[in-house]
Structures are given as C-alpha cells and as structure tokens.
Amino acid sequence: MPYDTQNIFAKILRGEIPSHKVYEDDKTLAFMDIMPMAEGHVLVIPKCEAVELSDMPADYIAAVFSTAQKVMAAQRKVFNRQGIVQMQLNNAEAGQSVFHYHIHLIPSSIYHLGLHENRQGDHERLAALANQLKSAITN
C-alpha cells in the first residue's frame, strides 16, 4: 500500500494538528492516543514514511523500539503497574485504521483491555497524563 502523506499521524508529525506529546527525538515521536483503550495509552511512531512493519527501515525499527522502552518504563512508574500491552496492527484487514506505522503501549492486561477506537479521551486528562509521563522519562 502506498504511503499517504495526508494521513493523520503525518499531519501530527508536521505539526498541522495538535497532539499530547510524551517524548520526541530525531527519529521518533510518542504521544497520547486520543481514544485510549486504557488510561495512559501511548502511540510511538517513526519520523519516516512507513505504512506498516514491512515498510520499516531497520534503523527506524531500532529507534521506535528504543523509544517504546522509555515510554514503557515511564508508564510503569506513573501507573505503578508492570503490565503493559504492546500492540501493532498491519493492514486494514488486521484492523489498522491509521496508515502510518505505530506501536500501541497500553497500561492494561489482555483480559481487561478496552475496545479499540471506542470513545474519545478527555483532553485535559490526556494532557495531564502526557506531562506526567514526560517527567517520568529518563533518557
């Protein structure tokens, strides 16, 4: 599938629409999911044009997973829990709805996970959580 530069995460990367940022470096961005499947649901994306895993260059795979480790450590601190669900959907057939590669990091259990894209999160709460996670990230 060709990469569409008008997808919502490309717009977030270009700063055309806002996001509650948790972490950013030269190759990645982490921000709050707007329809969280649990409190503290974060997305990690690469700053390259990749629709799904098969499009990801190795250096960006490394960068995205390195950022995911930082975010997960912060989620463990902030939410005082060890269980974090890591999820990533490849293709619409798997349920992918935004066609820019992203890892979901969800402080939850597979047995208690909320529904996917079910309900908008409260923006004040998302902003507060983003700040807490940002402060908890150690480089």
- Catalytic residue at 102? yes
| Residue 31 lies near ligand 5GP (rule: CB under 6 A) | yes
| CA dist list (Å): 71 to 5, 42, 114, 133, 137 | 26, 8, 20, 7, 7
Q: Which long-range contacts (CB under 8 A, 24 or more apart) does 14-23 make?
A: 20/123, 20/126, 20/127, 20/129, 20/130, 21/130, 21/134, 22/71, 22/74, 22/130, 22/133, 22/134, 22/137, 23/67, 23/70, 23/71, 23/133, 23/134, 23/137
* Contact with ligand 5GP (CB under 6 A) among 19, 67, 75, 108: 19
**CA–CA separation, 67 vs 102, rounded Å?**
12
**For ligand 5GP, the closer CB: 52 or 138:** 52
Candidates 20, 41, 100, 102; catalytic one: 102
- Identify residues 72-101 at the interface with ligand 5GP (CB under 6 A): 89, 95-98
Determine which residue in the list 3, 27, 35, 56 makes contact with ligand 5GP, applying CB under 6 A: 35
Rule CB under 6 A: choose which of 24, 27, 34, 137 binds ligand 5GP: 34
117 lines the binding site for ligand 5GP (CB under 6 A): yes
Looking at 8, 56, 113, 127, which residue binds ligand 5GP (CB under 6 A)? 8
Binding residues vs ligand 5GP (CB under 6 A):
8, 19, 31-35, 89, 95-98, 117
Instruction: List, by residue number, the catalytic residues.
Output: 102
